[in-house]
């Protein structure tokens, strides 16, 4: 009888966190590479430069939105990892798939920045967010079932983690739907939702999401 490789692979929550931090850091910084500095040629006054930078404004907005998205999911993943007593091979792979979706974010972002009026670009961007949420939801479900979560965690935390993902994804889905009017409506709505997550209100109805 051999020891199954399953028994020794992917045990370390610490290294999973380290890989995740590294990958998020790279993805967050690569986003900005899409903000290309205007060519010096033909720009010789401050006005001309301001004009050229103004053209970049939509990209900057999209970039900000993606940074927020990655920040939100980094916080979300961190909240989960901090409650895992240990990991196993399956949980590790669930998070590697999560990181795959993270690594696609700079591409989705570039695509939306380039085709900001086309619904295809917006919907692919939303699919990327949906994938992030779905995998994170699956990670929690699996960790609960496999007994990888720390023993003394209250049931309320369980509910809170799941509830948050479901509500957030509902709001993102609503935002994506708004593209039947205009992709700008979608982007505006999604940024609004993200702002709520960033600010994290402590009271009122918004404190639940």
Site for a second copy in 179-198 (CB under 8 A): 198
Assess 144 for contact with a second copy (CB under 8 A).
no
Assess 4 for contact with a second copy (CB under 8 A).
yes
> Which residue's structure tokens are 């699956």?
138
* CB of 133 vs a second copy, minimal distance in Å: 14
Q: How far apart are CA 16 and CA 5, in angstroms?
A: 18
Q: How far apart are CA 196 and CA 193, in angstroms?
A: 5
Assess 78 for contact with a second copy (CB under 8 A).
yes
Tokens of 7: 């028994």
* CB of 174 vs a second copy, minimal distance in Å: 19
Report helix angle 155-177 to 183-199, nearest 10.
160
| Beta-carbon count within 10 A of 71 CB | 15
Q: Which is nearer to a second copy, 164 or 189 (by Cβ)? A: 164
Q: Which is nearer to a second copy, 38 or 188 (by Cβ)? A: 38
Assess 137 for contact with a second copy (CB under 8 A).
no
Count of residues interacting with a second copy (CB under 8 A): 85
Cα within 13 Å of Cα(68), Cβ side:
18
Tokens of 16: 């999973």
Pick the piece of the chain touching a second copy (CB under 8 A) from 28-36, 127-135, 140-148, 169-177.
28-36
Q: Can you tell me which of 58, 61, 107, 138 binds a second copy, judged by CB under 8 A? A: 107
* CB of 158 vs a second copy, minimal distance in Å: 9
68 three-class SS? helix
DSSP-assigned beta bridge partners for residue 149: 84
Assess 12 for contact with a second copy (CB under 8 A).
yes
Assess 57 for contact with a second copy (CB under 8 A).
no
């Amino acid at each position: 009888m051999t020891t199954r490789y399953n028994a020794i692979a992917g045990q370390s929550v610490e290294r999973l966190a380290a890989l995740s931090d590294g990958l998020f850091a790279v993805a967050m910084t690569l986003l900005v590479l899409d903000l290309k500095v205007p060519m010096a040629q033909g720009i010789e006054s401050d006005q001309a430069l301001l004009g050229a930078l103004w053209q970049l404004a939509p990209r900057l907005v999209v970039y900000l939105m993606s940074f927020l998205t990655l920040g939100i999911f980094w916080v979300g993943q961190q909240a989960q990892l901090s409650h895992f007593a240990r990991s196993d091979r399956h949980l590790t792979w669930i998070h590697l798939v999560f990181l795959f979706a993270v690594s696609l974010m700079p591409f989705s972002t570039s695509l939306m920045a380039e085709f900001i009026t086309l619904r295809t670009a917006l919907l692919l961007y939303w699919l990327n967010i949906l994938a992030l949420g779905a995998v994170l939801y699956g990670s929690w479900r699996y960790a609960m079932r496999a007994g990888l979560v720390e023993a003394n965690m209250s049931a309320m935390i369980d509910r809170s983690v799941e509830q948050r993902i479901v509500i957030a994804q509902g709001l993102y889905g609503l935002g994506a739907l708004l593209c039947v009017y205009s992709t700008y409506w979608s982007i505006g709505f999604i940024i609004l939702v993200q702002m709520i997550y960033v600010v994290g209100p402590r009271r009122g109805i918004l404190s639940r999401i």
